[in-house]
Amino acid sequence: MAYKITLIRGDGTGPELADVTKAVLDATGIPFEWDIQTAGLDMMAKEGTPLPERVLDSIRRNKVAIKSPITTPVGTGFRSVNVALRKTFDLYACLRPCKSYSGVRSRYQNIDLVIVRENTEDLYVGIEFAKGTPEAKELIESASRLSKKPIRPDSGIGVKPISITGSERVVKFAFEYARKYKRKKVTSVHKANIMKFTDGLFLEVSREVAKRYPDIEFEDRIVDNMCMQLIQHPERYDVLVLPNLYGDIISDICAGLVGGLGVAPGGNIGETGAIFEATHGSAPKYAGLNKVTPTAMILSGMLMLRYLGEEKTADRLERAVADVIREGKSVTYDMKADRNDPTAVGTREMGEAIIRKLRNEK
């Protein structure tokens, strides 16, 4: 029986990445029934929102989706399609593996890190109040009175909620992932030395959950020290679990260790469903040019296969991607040693090379 999957084509380079990824996943031999949906800035003029209700209905029906990049306006407009999807479906764990592939330009080698980011709490909840508004004034007055610490009246205000519930389930996810994939260590990342009642709670819960997994080493690191450690000694770390904001930042650092966001897949996972996505942006200036690498989105498809329990096929797909990258012939310009290399192929052609590898391995 075919897996029913929502495929969200996004905007910018999203549609071409989605089409290539769909072709590659179909070539694995796993049967899919695709429910293709459009979303993003292109939908604003047509439907008044970048995230139409029909897209949400499709995900509710199918429980599993894979999406290509969608542009998030900076500073104004719709806050974020990605954040909205995570909140709507309570996709509390953001899974971002960062792994070295031979042939990718990088200052580092043999990196194999897994980032597990809490997805629903922290500053990304978006509880913010603009400077000068009655709401900001009221909150400033209350917070100043309760904390006995003055807040400048011309401040914008944001709220940072971290709960036992949210922390426990994401830390448990990290340990369960580590156990399933035979990882050796989980590191909880925080700023509990300063934010004692938010990050402090995250650390406290991490330590309690760790007691249930005596087979897996546990440690914690302060987030600024963690950044330095990743640059100096990335080989000492394995699975990292973090609150939302730190997870966003650290996952990009780790992507940088392995060559950039173009090779960084991602998955957003909850109790009843999941959405998989490349972690990079939509690169609208390259839209329709058949130019950018499809690697991150195809590897996100690999994560989706693992989520569906198709581990052997996921392994085949990852090997096919790794082989194409290692050979270095049928890769896009951004994966060449020289970005001006005239032998670079297009997005579609790199996907076709991966498909050939898959078919040869059958």
For the annotated catalytic residues, the residue numbers are: 124, 191, 224, 248
Q: Rounded to 5 degrees, what are φ and ψ at 16?
A: -70, -35
Return the closest-CA partner of residue 274 out of 17, 94, 117, 116.
94
Q: How many CB atoms lie within 10 A of CB 18?
A: 25
What pairing do the DSSP bridges indicate for beta strands 185-190 and 239-242?
parallel
The sign of the CA dihedral 39, 41, 43, 47 is positive
Q: Which amino acid is at 238?
A: D
- Cα dihedral: 323, 328, 334, 338 (round 10): 160
DSSP string for residues in 301-329: HHHHHHHTT-HHHHHHHHHHHHHHHHH-S
With beta carbons less than 8 A apart as the criterion, state whether 28 and 317 touch. yes
- The three-class DSSP label of residue 251 is helix
Could you give the CA distance from residue 270 to residue 280 in angstroms, rounded to a whole number? 21
Q: Which of 258, 305, 234, 256 is nearest to 29 (CA)?
A: 305
Q: Dihedral sign, CA of 11, 12, 16, 21?
A: negative
Amino acid in the structure at residue 343: T
The tokens describing 159, both together, are 């709220």
Fill in the DSSP letter of residue 2.
P
Buried b (16+ CB within 10 A) or exposed e, 226-249: bbebbeeebeebbbbbbbbbbbbe
Q: Cα 258 from chain centroid?
A: 15
Angle between helices 14-27 and 347-361 (to 10 degrees): 10
Residues 6+ apart with CB under 8 A from 322: 101, 102
